[in-house]
Amino acid sequence: MKRFGSFACLAAPLFVACAGPVDSVPLSGDPPPPTPATEEFFFPAPMTQIAAAEVASFVVLADGTVWGFSNVPQPSIVPEKNAPFYGVQDRTPRRIEGLDDVVSVAFRFRHGCALHRDGTVSCWGDNRNGQLGIGSRTSTRVPTKIGGLEHVVEVDVGEWHSCARLEGGRVTCWGERTAYFPTNPLKDGSVLDLTPFELEILPPMGGLALSRLHTCGTTTAGEVRCWGNLWPEDSSVGISLDEQLAYRDFRLTAAPARLLHGSCVLQVGGTLACACQNEEVSLSDEKLPCYGQEEAVSSFGADIVDADMQMAQACAIFGDGAVRCKGGFRSTFGDVTPWMYEAWEPIEGLVSPSAVAVGVDACVIDGDCLKCFGPWIGREPRKIGCYVPPPEEPH
């Protein structure tokens, strides 16, 4: 264990993980009152995207609104110091005030960001490492626009950092700099960017997907690159971006169709591939999909249409319409019994899945309904809410 000021770091060859201070958490925004539980909940518009995190999940509707709900049992067993970060505290979905005209939401660990239709970004949640990009380290329940950040076409979040891809392929990031820029805290100390920091050293990028403590992207030429949170033990030297990219070389056998979290990609042929040299999927830990693998890249699955991954877990929609999950479902709170899907196990009770997102629990858009399952909820998918189309007017 190494410490840089108030930051605690776990150091190993070519890898260091740092955690921000947890004793004092400045927080703004009053907590929303819990809403009474109802037997059925109906969304006012069709669902277009879901984001599942460790405690909370969020769904974007076609009308541009965002709705959030808690995955954990009530009363909440989330530690008090962490509960405020999510902005929701009950299991009935409620609209997130301040998020309008939203295209997509990224929310993974304890903070999230939303991309608005006008190309601006709002963030909320844990801000101990400056990962909200609002110029301070004050955490907030209230989604807050990042000043001066415009022309954004994609946004994603890790644990201690966030990044946005702009028109033309430029990338800007904020939060813990070691997660997205070749810097060595053993040499330079911890560097926090409280506002967006443009990565001028990168080529134009066509996509982004953040892991816990590093960053991946596809170039406009279709190459997959991963970088960040990688440096030698020697405190007198640094490591270049080229060295980081070479160390995490995917060497894919098929072109990527889409980047996934956990340094993974969905390939055009329907298989998943993960770079095993990272902090989410490790050769040394019993984590999906690299456990027991000697290769730098692990490929698995077939005929996969859509997938999402986080930490040691993965869920995918297959070509036959089934949702199957693989790996260990865990919570960092330690209050939930870990689950292990040894193989691609089918999830019963889903009829017409079109999108899947993985946190500690997993959520699926199933027809016009949103359903979730996992250690917090149970193995049988629980219906969170549905959209009921209005009846057609008679001609």
pLDDT in tens, 58-67: 999 999 999 9
Answer for the pair 4, 235: CB distance below 8 angstroms, yes or no. no
Q: Has residue 44 been placed in a domain?
A: no
In whole angstroms, what is the distance from residue 213 CA to residue 324 CA? 27
Q: Which residues contact 379 (CB under 8 A, 6 or more apart)?
A: 373
Q: Has residue 109 been placed in a domain?
A: yes
Q: Has residue 184 been placed in a domain?
A: yes
User: What is the phi-psi region of residue 14: left when phi exceeds 0, alpha when psi lies from -120 to 50, beta otherwise?
Assistant: left
The per-residue pLDDT for 384 is 95
User: What is the phi-psi region of residue 110: left when phi exceeds 0, alpha when psi lies from -120 to 50, beta otherwise?
Assistant: alpha
For 40-49, what is the mean pLDDT? 96
Domain of 198: which CATH number?
Answer: 2.130.10.30
Q: Has residue 35 been placed in a domain?
A: no
Domain of 179, in residue numbers: 97-249
The per-residue pLDDT for 334 is 55
DSSP class of 137: -
Q: Helix, strand, or coil here: 167?
A: helix
**Phi, psi dihedrals of residue 188, rounded to the nearest 5°:** -105, -5
Helix H, strand E, coil C: the string for 356-395 is: EEECCCEEEEECCEEEEEECCCEEEEEEEEEECCCCCCCC
Answer for the pair 69, 93: CB distance below 8 angstroms, yes or no. yes
Q: Which residues contact 373 (CB under 8 A, 6 or more apart)?
A: 347, 361, 362, 379, 380, 381, 382
Q: Has residue 233 been placed in a domain?
A: yes
pLDDT in tens, 146-202: 999 999 999 999 999 999 999 999 999 999 998 898 877 777 778 899 999 999 988
pLDDT at 227 over 90: no
Residue 229's Cβ-count burial label (10 Å; 0-12, 13-18, 19+) is buried
Q: Which of 204, 157, 148 is nearest to 176 (CA)?
A: 157
The per-residue pLDDT for 145 is 97
More confidently predicted of 112 and 4: 112
* Tally of structural domains, the chain: 1
Q: Has residue 366 been placed in a domain?
A: no
Q: Has residue 174 been placed in a domain?
A: yes
* Amino acid letter for position 330: R
What is the per-residue burial (b if ≥16 Cβ within 10 Å, else e) of 344-373?
beebeebeebebbbbbbbbbbbbebbbbbb
Answer for the pair 89, 76: CB distance below 8 angstroms, yes or no. yes
Q: What is the pTM of this model?
A: 0.85
Q: Has residue 118 been placed in a domain?
A: yes
pLDDT at 214 over 80: yes
More confidently predicted of 277 and 145: 145
Answer for the pair 78, 122: CB distance below 8 angstroms, yes or no. no
pLDDT at 40 over 60: yes
pLDDT-above-90 percentage for the chain: 43
